[in-house]
Structure 1
Amino acid sequence: MSEPLFLKPVFHEKLWGGRKLETEFGYDIPDGTIGECWAISGHPHGKEQVVNGEFAGQILADLWNDHKELFGNPKGKVFPLLTKILDANASLSVQVHPDNEYAEKHEHELGKTECWYVIDAEPGSYLIYGHNAKNKAELDQMIESGDWDHLLRKVPVKKGEFYYVPSGTVHALNKGIMVLETQQSSDTTYRLYDYDRVDKTTGKKRDLHIKQSEDTITVPHKDPKLDIQFKEVGKNKFTTFVQPPISPFFSVYHWEIKEPAQLHHQIGKYTLISVLSGEGKITADGKDYDLKKGTHLIVPATIDEWTLSGDLDIIASESGEN
């Protein structure tokens, strides 16, 4: 019998983190300023274990290598996606991520295109999203002179919004924002600006990566044109935020479940599911599994169809690379 793969999150302390992963999601998190919940991860920096069934205790990365049938016999060397919940209790550094080509050459891992679904945002919250430089020369000059007020684009943000962040995009979450992030499985970040903050462990300012940032920033910035699609089936609402070809690496969906819904894989061969709120069940191969806020799982390729029931708010994703 095929079963969904339920995963145990891994948590990371961050200079900008807080405690909302505990207070809002009920996670048993370590002491300190915890900024990231790595919810579904095969990356070496977030070695997640399966907690149920035949593969209980096994690492997702090992399943990818040893049980290709669970993922539709993919060709890629690594599990390609990474799902996180981020709690920005303070502003993150202004940063940029490289594309696959640059990351492979310089970092020996995947590039990093990502996206955010805004779980919550305090009044007045904003993102850094893009920049105002018209060309490379102007970009370099504004960075060198530290003209951040004119260079960086500030975008007001609200709960329930979605932002697609291709590699090469200058960006930052700021204070008071919580998001679910879907991204390529990469941990490469180039810091462009960090508000001159001092790391409490080292007592020094955190490293910046100006050359790498200048190498990888897309100039001029252009907001991606998304084809967001909505569908209502009975009391259920299904939103497709992004999918290939606009997003070559993943598709991301928002499912609002109020009555039983039969679902199947769409563009991919397996599906990642994160429950943002509510309670319910997933039924697969005639067996029920409980779902609640903060649950994360993969529906493997060995399950063709499944049913969601209850009152559930879900972000799901699929890899665009099979």
Structure 2
Amino acid sequence: MAEPLFLKSVMQEKIWGGNRLETEFGYDIPSQTTGEYWAISAHPNGVSLVANGRYEGTPLDTLYAEHRELFGNSESPVFPLLTKILDANDWLSVQVHPDDAYGLEHEGELGKTECWYIIAADEGAEIIYGHEAQSRTELAQMIEDKEWDRLLTRVPVKAGDFFFVPSGTMHAIGKGIMILETQQSSDTTYRVYDFERKDDKGNLRELHIQQSVDVMTIGEVANSHPDTIELADARLTTYVSNEFFTVYKWVIHGELAMNKQADYYLLSVLDGQGELEIDGQIYHLKKGVHFILTSDCQDWIFRGHLEMIVSHP
């Protein structure tokens, strides 16, 4: 019988983290500087466990390795996507991620193209999204001269905004922002600038200037344009669709029957509550729940009031 995979996942403490994963979502957090919840992850730095059904207790990486039929017999050697919720109680470092070719050659793992759905943002919150350098030479010089005000492109954000962040993009999430991030399953980050912050031992965090200059894209960042379908009981928005992932927002207010259009889906309930029916079985859904609809889930029904971010490779 087809069944969704609900997940129990790993919290990550960060120098810039806070407590909104607890106050907004009711998660148990390890400290008041909890920065990330790796909600759907098979990455070795934080593997989710299946929390229900016949695979209960199985790590997601093991399940992917041993039951590839649940994931459309995917040829990717690793589970390709990672879903996180981030609580930026302070600025994250200004950073960039490599593409697959550079990541595999230099770090032994995939590169990192990602995208952000802004769950919440304080008044006046900003991100860094791109830079103003016109050439790699100018980029290197501006970094060396610490001309951050001239170099970094700041963009104001509000709840409900979406940003596509391809590998090579200079970026940083600003203070007072909570996001859901869909990304390639990679943990390679090159820091360009960290606001001269020190860790709890009084040390500056490591920077990766040469790698950053090597992989940085020169030129304006092109964000994606959402495409929305309005139905009687739902609003279905496609934010981005590319070689790495397709990401949607599904808002249900009533009942919606759906059938499988992709090999499998990753789903995160950001607000509301309701239920999911598959093969006559009812599963209760509420804010903060994350699950996978595997390949054997052919069709399903959502009921209730639900706001979800959904993705697939």
TM-score normalised by the shorter chain: which range applies? over 0.9
Counterpart-to-counterpart distance in 2, 1:235 and 1:223: 35
The answer for the alignment partner of 1:289 in structure 2 is: 283
Q: Which residue of 2 aligns with 1:33?
A: 33
Question: How do residues 67-106 of structure 1 correspond to structure 2 at under 5 angstroms?
Answer: 67-106=67-106
Partner residue of 1:213? 212
Preserved CA contact (<8 Å) 2:40 2:82: yes
Following TM superposition, the consecutive aligned residue runs of length 4 or more in structure 1 with deviations greater than 2 angstroms are: none
CA–CA distance in structure 1, aligned partners of residues 109 and 32 of structure 2? 29
Query: Paired residue for 1:110?
Result: 110
Q: State the Cα distance separating 1:223 from its structure 2 match.
A: 2.3
Matching residue of 1:226: 224
- 1:251-262 to 2 correspondence within 5 Å? 251-262=246-257
Q: Partner letter of residue 207 of structure 1?
A: E
| Cα distance between partner residues in 1 of 2:92 and 2:10 | 20
- Among residues 259, 272, 295, which one is paired with 1:264 in the alignment? 259
- Residue 304 of structure 1 and its aligned partner are, at CA, apart by 1.0
Shift of 1:205: 0.3
The amino acid that maps onto 2:230 is E
Q: Which residue of 1 aligns with 2:8?
A: 8
Cα distance, 1:47 vs structure 2: 1.2
- Name the residue aligned to 2:308: 314
Residues 225, 164 of structure 1: alpha-carbon distance in 2 compared, 3 angstrom cutoff: closer
Residue 239 of structure 2 is aligned to residue 241 of structure 1? yes
Letter in 1 for 2:234: N
Structure 1 distance, partners of 2:106, 2:223, is 29
Residue 181 of structure 2 is matched in structure 1 by: 181
Give the count of matched residue pairs: 313
**Secondary structure of 1:64 counterpart:** helix
- Give SS of 2:270's match: strand
User: Which residue of structure 2 aligns with residue 135 of structure 1?
Assistant: 135
Which 5+ residue runs of structure 2 have no aligned equivalent? none
Q: Conserved in 1, the CA contact under 8 Å of 2:164 and 2:223?
A: no
Q: Which residue of 1 aligns with 2:148?
A: 148
Deviations 1:253-275 (A, max 9, x none): 00110011112333x30000000
- Secondary structure at 1:258 match in 2: strand
The letter of the residue matching 1:14 is K
Structure 1 CA distance for aligned equivalents of residues 26 and 254 of structure 2? 25
Q: Distance in 1 between matches of 2:260 and 2:46?
A: 25
The offset of 1:224, in angstroms, is 1.8
User: What is the TM-score normalised by the length of structure 1?
Assistant: 0.96
Cα distance in structure 2, aligned partners of 1:263 and 1:37: 28
Return the letter of the residue paired with 1:261.
Answer: L
Q: If the length of structure 2 is used for normalisation, what is the TM-score?
A: 0.99
Please provide the CA RMSD for this pair: 0.8
Equivalent in the alignment of 2:126:
126
Superposition deviation, residue 251 in structure 1:
0.4
Q: Percent identity?
A: 54
Partner letter of residue 8 of structure 2?
K
Residue 154 of structure 1: SS of its match in structure 2?
Answer: strand
Task: Report Cα offsets for 1:29-58 as digits up to 9, x if no partner.
Answer: 112300000000000011110000000000
Deviation at 1:316, TM superposition (A): 0.3
Q: Which runs of 5+ in 1 are unaligned?
A: none
